[in-house]
């Protein structure tokens, strides 16, 4: 009975996404983060939910939205779209000229193209403060709920966090790093009621504790950097520090005893590190040698593991033991580092476009008049929280292959959407009238009229 109710609810929501593309995009974010298939473990009924939802959103957008072009140059968000499109093109070139497995590269490039499609729809639909706030809450609550589930699995000793995504628990930790500072930013929103702020705090605590149960060393470092950066910027840092202190006291009894031992291996001598930590620098060096031999386009997305096998007899100077050699060669291995991995697989073209997309949103600023306006402080705080998440992600990426995580690109386009909204508000004030982008609410109105 539960399966029937869940299937009807989720597939019904996907169908409604056709009539209301904004709702559909929010629903897609929810199922992407919450992963409802975990409610029916082992049931394949949700297998096509993501694909069906994305197709329905696209169809609804084509039918209900206004596609007339803008009358002036590219704005910040549109440049995000252009750079992302060039990035997909770079991956395609790497795939075409791949010397290893073109099939694997095509599959990964197609996955990134699907992410681009959703981000493009996001850039067109989420142009108002109301829509952006809805996206933020859906993201925080969805991943917060998943974190509660993850904590329960960790307490029971279940390994389900490792099988939750293709990349295992490290992928989950990277997503949590992106959203923890956003949850803190929402908890600082003075416009919210006290229960809403407490709910945001609860999500931040749950996500932080779930990072612990993911056993991700990169996730811990990334979250620490993200929170510290957010504290350095926030005017309410004292209140946040007190809140973090109280949260730490609440979390302490739930932290596994062996977690501190795992974290200590980050800075331990090579003799004291576990095997996975010792081979990570070796994998980075192999990746850099692959990049040296394929500097412009790399060996193709997802092809590092195959390409490294051709270097099995060329790395004797960097492998110190037979255990390390056996751990790396003769089996599927990733670089466990985004930057050397991207250089090896996509070359300077793909890596450069990726870093441009991330960095321009990481350092972007809002108009001074918008920042100084008391009416828009919640938007300013949310932008800083999103940028703090990007900084944390950049740190965590030293320890994982996270370049294909969908939430990263949603976070980037969220920053772009806030920047676009601020620019339009600033322009409206400067000319003394209400001038906003084509409102996303008009899409809902047209869809409603079409169904009457």
pLDDT at 446 over 50: no
Q: Is residue 19 part of a domain?
A: yes
Task: Check if the beta carbon of residue 333 is closer than 8 Å to that of residue 308.
Answer: yes
Tell me which of 139-143, 293-297, 431-435 is least confident: 431-435
Task: State pLDDT tens for residues 22-50.
Answer: 999 999 999 989 887 766 655 666 667 88
Distance from CA of residue 439 to its chain's centroid?
26
Using a 10 angstrom Cβ sphere, with 0-12 exposed, 13-18 middle and 19 or more buried, the burial of residue 159 is exposed
Given a cut of 50, whether residue 437 has pLDDT beyond it is: no
pLDDT confidence bin for 276, thresholds 50/70/90? confident
> pLDDT (tens digit, 9 = 90+) per residue, 182-226?
999 999 888 889 999 999 999 999 999 999 888 888 899 999 999
- d(C-alpha 399, C-alpha 283), whole Å: 11
Residues ≥6 apart with Cβ < 8 Å to 39? 2, 6
410 neighbors 122 (Cβ within 8 angstroms): yes
pLDDT at 199: 94
Flag whether 101 is in a domain: no
Name 32's Cβ contacts closer than 8 Å, sequence gap at least 6. Answer: 50, 406, 407
Residue 41: its pLDDT value, please? 56
Read off the pLDDT of residues 147-189 as tens digits, 9 standing for 90 and up: 998 888 888 877 667 776 666 788 899 999 999 999 999 998 8
Position 434 pLDDT exceeds 60: no
pLDDT at 299: 94
- Among 263-267, 286-290, 313-317, name the most confident range: 286-290
Per the structure, the complete domain to which residue 52 belongs is given by 1-63
- HSE value, Cβ hemisphere, 13 Å, CA-based, for 168: 12
pLDDT of residue 444: 36
Per-residue confidence at 438, pLDDT binned at 50, 70, 90? very low
In a domain, 123, yes or no: no
3-class state of residue 342 by DSSP:
helix
> In total, how many domains does the chain have?
1
Q: CB neighbours (10 Å) of residue 62?
A: 10
Spacing of C-alpha 158 from chain mean position: 25
Position 6 in a domain: yes
The distance of Cα 136 from the centroid of its chain, to the nearest Å, equals 13
226 inside domain: no
Tell which wins on pLDDT, 433 or 84. Answer: 84
pLDDT digits (tens, 9 = 90+) for 326-353: 888 888 888 989 999 999 999 999 999 9
Residue 57 resides in a domain:
yes
442 inside domain: no
Tell me, yes or no, whether 312 lies in a domain: no
Find all residues with CB under 8 Å of 359, minimum gap 6, and list them. none
Q: What does the pLDDT read at residue 1?
A: 64
């Amino acid at each position: 009975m539960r399966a029937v109710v869940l299937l009807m609810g989720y597939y019904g929501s996907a169908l409604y996404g056709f009539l209301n593309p904004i709702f559909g995009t929010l629903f897609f974010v929810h199922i992407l983060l919450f992963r409802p298939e975990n409610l029916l473990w082992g049931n394949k009924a949700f297998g096509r939910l993501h694909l069906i939802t994305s197709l329905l959103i696209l169809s609804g957008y084509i039918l209900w939205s206004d596609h007339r072009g803008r009358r002036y140059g590219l704005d910040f968000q549109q440049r995000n779209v252009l750079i992302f499109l060039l990035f997909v093109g770079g991956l395609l070139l790497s795939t075409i000229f791949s010397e290893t497995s073109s099939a694997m590269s095509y599959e990964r490039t197609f996955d990134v193209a699907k992410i681009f499609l959703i981000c493009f729809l996001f850039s067109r639909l989420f142009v108002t403060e109301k829509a952006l706030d809805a996206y933020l809450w859906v993201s925080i609550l969805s991943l917060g709920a998943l974190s509660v589930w993850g904590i329960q699995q960790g307490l029971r000793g279940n390994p389900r966090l490792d099988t939750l995504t293709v990349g295992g628990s490290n992928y989950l930790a990277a997503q949590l790093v992106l959203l923890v500072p956003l949850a803190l930013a929402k908890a600082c929103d003075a416009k919210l009621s006290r229960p809403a702020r407490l709910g945001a705090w609860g999500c931040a605590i749950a996500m932080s504790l779930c990072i612990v149960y993911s056993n991700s060393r990169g996730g811990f470092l990334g979250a620490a950097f993200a929170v510290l950066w957010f504290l350095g910027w926030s005017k309410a840092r004292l209140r946040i520090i007190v809140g973090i202190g109280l949260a730490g006291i609440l979390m302490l009894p739930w932290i596994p005893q062996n977690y501190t031992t795992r974290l200590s291996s980050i800075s331990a001598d090579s003799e004291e590190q576990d095997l996975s930590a010792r081979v990570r620098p070796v994998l980075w060096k192999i990746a850099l040698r692959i990049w040296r031999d394929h500097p412009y386009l790399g060996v193709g997305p997802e092809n590092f593991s195959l390409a490294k096998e051709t270097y099995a007899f060329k790395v004797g100077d960097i492998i110190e033991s037979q255990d390390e050699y056996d751990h790396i060669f003769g089996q599927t291995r990733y670089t466990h580092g985004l930057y050397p991995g991207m250089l090896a697989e996509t070359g300077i073209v793909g890596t450069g476009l990726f870093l441009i997309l991330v960095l321009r949103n990481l350092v972007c600023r809002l108009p001074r008049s918008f920042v100084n306006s008391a009416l828009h402080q919640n938007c300013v705080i949310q932008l800083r929280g999103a940028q703090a998440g990007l900084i944390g992600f950049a740190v965590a990426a030293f320890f994982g292959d996270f370049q294909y995580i969908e939430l990263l690109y949603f976070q980037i386009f969220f920053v772009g959407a806030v920047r676009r909204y601020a620019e339009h508000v600033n322009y409206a004030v400067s000319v003394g009238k209400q001038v906003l982008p084509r409102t996303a609410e008009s899409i809902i109105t047209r869809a409603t009229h079409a169904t009457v």
